[in-house]
Structure 1
Amino acid sequence: MAGLPQKGFEVSFDENNQEFSIVGSMRPERTEDLADCIKLFQTSARSVRGTLYVNVKRLVRLNNIAFRVLADLMVVACADHSGLRISVITSSVVGWSTRKFSSLRAVNDNIQVEQYDADFYPGQSFVEDSDIIALLRTQTKLTWRHERDLLPKHGLKAGMQVADICCGIGDFAVLLSKEFEPSRLVALDHSKPSLAYARTVASDFGIGGIEYIYGDAAEMLLEDDQFDFVTCRHSLQIFDRPERILKELFRICKPGGRVYVTNEKNSHCLGEPRGESIQWTYNEVARMLAHFNHDIEIGPKSRRLMLDTGFSEVRMESFMVTNMDGDPQDFADIITAWRDLFAGKMTQLRGDDEAFVSRFRQGFDDHIFAALHAKGYAGWPIWVASGTKPL
Structure 2
Amino acid sequence: MNTEARSPAFNYQFNENDQEFSLFGSFRPQKIDELADCINSLEASISNVTGNFYLNVKRLVRMNNVAFHAIAKRIVKTSGDRPDLKIHVTTSSVLGWSTRKFSTLAKIAPNITINEYDNEFYPGQSFLEDGGFIPILRTQTKLTWRHEKSILPRHGLKPGMHVADICCGIGDFAVLMQKEFQPGRLIALDHSKSSLNYARKVAEDFGVRGIEYVYGDASEMLLEDNQFDFVTCRHSLQVFDRPDLILKELYRICKPGGRVYITNEKNSHCLGEPRSETIQRTYNEVARLWDHFNMDIELGPKSRRYLLEAGFSDISIESFMVTNLDGNPQDFADIIQSWEDVYAGQMAVERGDSVEDIRILKQGFQDHIFAALHPKGYAGWPIWAASGQKPQ
On whether the aligned pair clears a TM of 0.5, the verdict is yes
TM-score normalised per structure 2: 0.97
Q: Where does residue 132 of structure 1 map in the other structure?
A: 133
- Displacement of 1:33: 2.2
CA–CA distance in 2 between the matches of 1:215 and 1:114? 17
**Partner-residue secondary structure (3-state), 1:78:** helix
Q: Where does residue 342 of structure 1 map in the other structure?
A: 343
Q: Where does residue 88 of structure 1 map in the other structure?
A: 89
Structure 2 stretches lacking a partner, 5+ long: none
- Displacement of 1:40: 1.0
Contact in 1 for aligned 2:336/2:368 (Cα 8 Å): yes
Within 5 Å, give how 1:167-316 maps onto structure 2: 167-316=168-317
Contact in 1 for aligned 2:83/2:111 (Cα 8 Å): no
Contact in 1 for aligned 2:257/2:390 (Cα 8 Å): yes
CA–CA distance in 2 between the matches of 1:159 and 1:26? 33
Within 5 Å, give how 1:371-386 maps onto structure 2: 371-386=372-387
CA–CA distance in 2 between the matches of 1:59 and 1:355? 50
Percent identity reads 65
CA–CA distance in 1 between the matches of 2:187 and 2:43? 39
Q: Where does residue 109 of structure 1 map in the other structure?
A: 110
1:49 and 2:50 correspond: yes
- Displacement of 1:117: 2.1
**Partner-residue secondary structure (3-state), 1:360:** helix
**Partner-residue secondary structure (3-state), 1:120:** coil
- Displacement of 1:140: 0.3
Contact in 1 for aligned 2:251/2:390 (Cα 8 Å): yes
Contact in 2 for aligned 1:46/1:81 (Cα 8 Å): no
CA–CA distance in 2 between the matches of 1:31 and 1:208? 42
- Displacement of 1:277: 0.9
CA spacing shift, 1:118–1:318, aligned 2, 3 Å? closer
1:26 and 2:27 correspond: yes
CA–CA distance in 2 between the matches of 1:23 and 1:84? 24
CA–CA distance in 1 between the matches of 2:271 and 2:114? 46
- Displacement of 1:280: 1.2
CA–CA distance in 2 between the matches of 1:30 and 1:254? 34
Contact in 1 for aligned 2:329/2:373 (Cα 8 Å): yes
Contact in 1 for aligned 2:191/2:218 (Cα 8 Å): yes
Q: CA-to-partner distance for each residue in 1:91-126, whole Å, 9 max, x for gaps? A: 111111111111111111211111122523222222
Q: Where does residue 156 of structure 1 map in the other structure?
A: 157
Query: What is the aligned residue count?
Result: 391
CA–CA distance in 2 between the matches of 1:120 and 1:342? 19
Specify the code of the residue in structure 2 equivalent to 1:233: R
Specify the code of the residue in structure 2 equivalent to 1:200: K
Q: CA-to-partner distance for each residue in 1:266-302, whole Å, 9 max, x for gaps? A: 1111111111111111111111111222111111111
Specify the code of the residue in structure 2 equivalent to 1:97: S
Contact in 2 for aligned 1:57/1:91 (Cα 8 Å): yes
- Displacement of 1:386: 0.3
Q: CA-to-partner distance for each residue in 1:15-48, whole Å, 9 max, x for gaps? A: 1111100001112222222221111111111211
Bigger Cα displacement from structure 2, 203-212 vs 361-370: 203-212
How big is the alpha-carbon RMSD for the aligned residues of Structure 1 and Structure 2?
1.2
CA spacing shift, 1:92–1:346, aligned 2, 3 Å? same
Contact in 1 for aligned 2:340/2:365 (Cα 8 Å): yes
- Displacement of 1:132: 0.9
CA–CA distance in 1 between the matches of 2:106 and 2:149? 52
Contact in 2 for aligned 1:260/1:386 (Cα 8 Å): yes
TM-score normalised per structure 1: 0.97
Specify the code of the residue in structure 2 equivalent to 1:346: M
**Partner-residue secondary structure (3-state), 1:219:** coil
**Partner-residue secondary structure (3-state), 1:119:** coil
CA spacing shift, 1:118–1:110, aligned 2, 3 Å? farther
Within 5 Å, give how 1:341-360 maps onto structure 2: 341-360=342-361
Specify the code of the residue in structure 1 equivalent to 2:225: D
